Amino acid sequence: MKKLLLSTLCAILLSGCAMCANSKLDILTLFSTKSCCANKAWVGTFQLVWNDMKNNIIKHDVKFVGEKPTKELIGLNSEEFNSKMLNESSYYTSWGKTAPAEKIKIKEAVAKKFNEKSEILDSLDWSEGIGKYYAYAMLKKEFEFPEEFDKLEKAKFNNKGEFEFFGIKDSSKEILDENVKVLFYNNKNDYAIQLLTTNNDIVYLYRTNSNAPFNKLYEKMIAKTGKYEGEREFNLIDTLKVPNLKINDKRNYPTLTNKKIEGTEIYFSQALETIQLELNNKGGKVKSEAILMTKNCVIAPMTKEPTPRHFNFDKTFAMFLVDAGKENPYLALRVKDLNEFQK
């Protein structure tokens, strides 16, 4: 019997990983989420709407009737990420009862604050009704490098394809070295750098094959940085090679919807997050939206779903973005298949 249970569990896990292997990009709910996917991303926007829904509408930790809390649910309730980890200029949030006027209010607010349009608001039901609430957030960041990096020749990534890169080569102007701070360089496969920006936002790039959760990768990167005793200046003989990145994706979270929330008469009808990111030789920009919406309980069926150091990020790597003056990332990426990041 034990062997049968073990075999079944393994089959489920392998099936999940097989599905993940076929998935283009896994957008995670938590910075600490474990995922076997090769390509994955996390941004803190969904946590912002969860916090508002939990604290201002439901007013207690979210638990689903008849279900033991999952690690995902426990992590969301613990508020691993919150608005204190961002500067106020970087985000907008709104929550309350759904109504057409609320949609108009949000549209006007993001247009005024970010000069942006929402990609999701018009596709949602904003009609009024008993038990209909929402929590919405937009995160918007743009940053520039002090000096534009050189555009490099197209090259392979993980020995596949032909992709656009930027960075510093032997013939680059010396001033470009000032864009880069070395965190550590332990060997040709274990290194990390910080790219400086004009507004003091931080771009970390960490060369690693590890597929550990983002929080573990970040902790390891910081720990290695603290232990490193080598040269931290980017020298004339050093080089840098970073791929252009472009993401435009969205994710529904079906494991959170269509389940009655304990202590209420409502359920989540929508749990949605979008992520748009660009990184090139000039700098980068991030735009992300998230929304949670509720309805009164008429449960719908669930759906599944000093020798030269070459800082060449042309193999699997992780990237973290940290708001100016803050310590914790608001966005993380793991890049293995660059085709999924150059759309």
CATH number of the domain encompassing residue 313: 2.30.39.10
Mean pLDDT of 91-96: 98
Could you tell me the two tokens for 65? Answer: 């009737």
Mean pLDDT of 26-32: 96
Residue 18 has pLDDT above 60, yes or no: no
pLDDT at 20: 61
Mean pLDDT of 299-326: 79
- Residue 246 domain flag: yes
pLDDT at 298: 61
- Residue 248 domain flag: yes
> Binning pLDDT at 50, 70 and 90, where does residue 288 land?
very high
Mean pLDDT of 309-328: 90
Mean pLDDT of 5-20: 41
Give yes or no for a contact between 253 and 76, defined as CB atoms under 8 angstroms apart: no
Q: How many CB atoms lie within 10 A of CB 332?
A: 23
Residue 82: CA atoms inside 13 Å, Cβ hemisphere, count?
11
Coil, helix or strand at residue 69: coil
- Residue 305 domain flag: yes
> Binning pLDDT at 50, 70 and 90, where does residue 110 land?
very high
- Residue 7 domain flag: no
Distance, in Å, from the CA atom of 300 to the CA atom of 259, rounded to the nearest integer, reads: 8
Place of tokens 């919807």: 257
- Residue 17 domain flag: no
Domains in the chain, number: 1
Distance, in Å, from the CA atom of 280 to the CA atom of 203, rounded to the nearest integer, reads: 12
- Residue 159 domain flag: yes
pLDDT at 53: 98
pTM of the model: 0.84
Mean residue pLDDT across the chain = 91
Residue 7 has pLDDT above 80, yes or no: no
Give yes or no for a contact between 96 and 105, defined as CB atoms under 8 angstroms apart: no
- Residue 120 domain flag: yes
pLDDT at 259: 96
Could you tell me the two tokens for 265? Answer: 């008469």
Q: Tell me which of 136-150, 260-274, 321-335 is least confident.
A: 321-335
Provide the residue range defining the domain that includes 134: 23-343
Distance, in Å, from the CA atom of 294 to the CA atom of 130, rounded to the nearest integer, reads: 10
Angle at 188 between CA 185 and CA 189, to 5 degrees: 90
> Binning pLDDT at 50, 70 and 90, where does residue 185 land?
very high
User: What residue spans of the chain are helical by DSSP H?
Assistant: 2-22, 45-52, 71-77, 100-114, 214-227
Question: What percent of the chain has pLDDT above 70?
Answer: 91
- Residue 12 domain flag: no
Q: Tell me which of 72-86, 131-145, 287-301 is least confident.
A: 287-301
Bridge-based pairing state of the strands 160-168 and 239-243: antiparallel
pLDDT at 289: 98
DSSP, residue by residue, 188-200: TTEEEEEEE-TT-
Q: How many CB atoms lie within 10 A of CB 152?
A: 20
Give yes or no for a contact between 244 and 342, defined as CB atoms under 8 angstroms apart: yes
Distance, in Å, from the CA atom of 37 to the CA atom of 53, rounded to the nearest integer, reads: 29
Mean pLDDT of 105-111: 98
